[in-house]
């Protein structure tokens, strides 16, 4: 029996190397247009990434959004109501965005009009982690109904992120989650990860989150 494991590793290494090269090109493009901050939002389906954008975009000057989904333009249609530049990428089955997908659409996006660019990745805590899009920061979005164990079960994204948004704080009395224990788990994985508790429903923590995003921006 022929062991083809080395060939699979070689192919994966080549894919990631090509992605890194394209990600660097994307990053240079963002910087060439003086975009202050590019944020890659990563979270499970239903974590509230789109609702989060609906809450923070009106508080930021000149923001833009790129939506990533396997299918439909429903999230893009939602945030289009915010009167900011929006572009939809459908991956047609792929479980994450990659740098090449961004590179193909960025020429059609009005980057000169944008100070803050938010890329809402496909709903997934695993696959998007390994693919750099040229962003300045990965932001992991975790909602309380997902439970206390996600950082322990999916540590890579919490290690790779600069900021963790604990979303849907208004549901704390109803989902039996110990928020202190949840944060302790997160800090066990990444002691340096900044954590912001928010509720898009009540507005709790949204202003604080906006200030953190501004602080993370380049200038």
- Which pLDDT value is given to residue 14? 78
The answer to whether residue 22 sits within a structural domain is no
* Residue 157 belongs to domain spanning: 39-216
The answer to whether residue 210 sits within a structural domain is yes
- Which pLDDT value is given to residue 13? 72
User: Which of 131, 159, 118 lies closest to 36 in space, CA to CA?
Assistant: 118
**Count of CB atoms situated within 10 Å of the CB of 99:** 22
Burial of residue 145 (number of CB atoms within 10 Å: 0-12, 13-18, 19+): middle
The answer to whether residue 16 sits within a structural domain is no
The answer to whether residue 139 sits within a structural domain is yes
Whichever domain contains 75, its CATH number is 3.40.50.300
- Which pLDDT value is given to residue 12? 65
Q: How many helices (H) and strands (E) does the chain have?
A: 9, 7
Give the number of C-alpha atoms closer than 13 A to the C-alpha of residue 94, restricted to the C-beta side. 13
The answer to whether residue 76 sits within a structural domain is yes
* Alpha carbons 97 and 99: distance in angstroms, whole number: 7
In contact, 65 and 85? CB cutoff 8 Å? yes
Domain count, the chain: 1
The answer to whether residue 192 sits within a structural domain is yes
List beta partners, residue 141: 43, 165
Backbone angles phi, psi at 84, to 5 degrees: -125, 160
* Alpha carbons 45 and 199: distance in angstroms, whole number: 17
The answer to whether residue 89 sits within a structural domain is yes
The answer to whether residue 130 sits within a structural domain is yes
- Which pLDDT value is given to residue 15? 77
Backbone angles phi, psi at 52, to 5 degrees: -65, -45
Token digits of residue 81:
């109501």
What DSSP character marks residue 147? Answer: -
pLDDT by 10-residue block (mean), the chain, 219 residues: 56 81 97 96 97 97 97 95 96 96 96 97 96 97 95 97 97 92 95 97 97 87
């Amino acid at each position: 029996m022929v062991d083809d494991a080395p060939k699979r590793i070689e192919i994966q290494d080549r894919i990631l190397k090509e992605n890194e090269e394209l990600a660097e090109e994307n990053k240079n493009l963002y910087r060439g247009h003086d975009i202050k901050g590019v944020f890659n939002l990563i979270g499970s389906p239903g974590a509230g990434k789109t609702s989060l954008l609906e809450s923070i975009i009106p508080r930021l000057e000149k923001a833009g959004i790129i939506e990533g989904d396997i299918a439909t333009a429903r999230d893009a249609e939602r945030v289009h109501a915010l009167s900011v530049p929006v572009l939809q990428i459908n991956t047609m089955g792929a479980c994450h965005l990659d740098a090449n997908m961004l590179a193909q659409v960025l020429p059609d996006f009005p980057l000169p009009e944008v100070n803050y660019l938010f890329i809402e990745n496909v709903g997934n805590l695993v696959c998007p982690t390994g693919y750099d899009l040229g962003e300045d920061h990965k932001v992991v979005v975790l909602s309380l109904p997902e439970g206390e164990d996600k950082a322990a079960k999916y540590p890579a994204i919490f290690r790779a992120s600069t900021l963790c948004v604990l979303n849907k704080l208004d549901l704390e009395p109803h989902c039996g989650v110990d928020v202190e224990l949840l944060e302790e788990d997160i800090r066990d994985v990444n002691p340096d990860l900044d954590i912001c508790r928010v509720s898009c429903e009540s507005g709790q923590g949204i202003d604080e989150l906006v200030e953190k995003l501004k602080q993370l921006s380049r200038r």
